[in-house]
Amino acid sequence: MKRIRFLFAAVALTGLACNALARPLPFFATPTATPSQIPTASDVTLDPNCPNPQPSQDYVDFALQHDKDLFSSSGWKNSYTVMESRVSVTWKNDDMSAVANIDHVIFCDATSARLDEYYTTDVLAIIFQNYESHEVQKDCRSGDTLRLYELKVKSRGLDYNARFWVELVDSDHTRETLLVFPTDDPADMSSYSKKMMPELPSCN
């Protein structure tokens, strides 16, 4: 039987704004899976149906190019991390106090039903554990391949809107996209959401 491979690493964006007019960037964290959720390397190696959990250079290159044009305007700076089963690309904008994080994840036998089983309230609490608080406002989906969770989060005493999309790319890959903007900037949140996820920009 195929096994889903979940490997999440905790990541925090700790950059501060350079001037008194800019607000600090919000934290971002991806979930840390429990040992029972992660098959050992030997388990995956012995299953010929599972993809190689080590991201190839082509996969890394694809992740770095994905949605790159959306962040071509001045102010956006990116960084990335390559981990087992995951390539995480982060875009942040000090002037807008905004963060976009796109994680390209290698799974084994990913299905819509398994995503439903995984993205529970408890897992969302782990994903947003580095925020001072978080509250899911809405959740919705487009077919079986795209889910959206809209949240209110707080970081360093400031309020932000967050949209967290989970995409089923194919049977071996998923993608997680997080977009965070200050609550007093709904226009940019809406604009970037429509550009990044035109199929499901919001739950309205």
134-176 confidence digits (pLDDT tens) = 999 999 999 999 999 999 999 988 999 999 999 999 999 999 9
Per-residue pLDDT, 156: 87
Question: From residue 66, how far is each of 92, 99, 180 by CA, in Å?
Answer: 15, 16, 18
pLDDT at residue 131 tops 70: yes
For the record, the structure tokens of 197 come out as 């996820």
Tell if the pTM clears 0.75, that is, is over it.
yes
SS3 content of the chain, % helix, strand, coil (to 5): 25, 35, 45
- Considering only the top CATH level, what class is 35-196? alpha beta
| Residues 6+ away with beta carbon under 8 Å from 190 | 201, 202
Q: Give the containing element (helix H, strand E) for 180.
A: strand 173-182
Separate counts of helices (H) and strands (E) for the chain: 5, 7
Q: Which of 129, 97, 143, 118 is nearest to 36 (CA)?
A: 118
Per-residue pLDDT, 204: 87
Q: Which of 54-63, 74-83, 116-125 is least confident? A: 116-125
Q: Which of 5-14, 65-74, 90-99, 146-155 is least confident? A: 5-14
Q: Which of 84-93, 104-113, 147-156 is least confident? A: 104-113
| Residues 6+ away with beta carbon under 8 Å from 120 | none
The upper half-sphere exposure of residue 101, i.e. CA atoms within 13 Å in the direction of its Cβ, equals 26
| Residues 6+ away with beta carbon under 8 Å from 5 | 38, 39, 44, 50, 53, 85, 106, 107, 108
* Sheet with 133-142: strands ordered across: 76-83, 86-93, 98-106, 173-182, 158-170, 146-155, 133-142
Hey, what amino acid is at 55? P
Q: Which of 184, 50, 58 is nearest to 107 (CA)?
A: 50
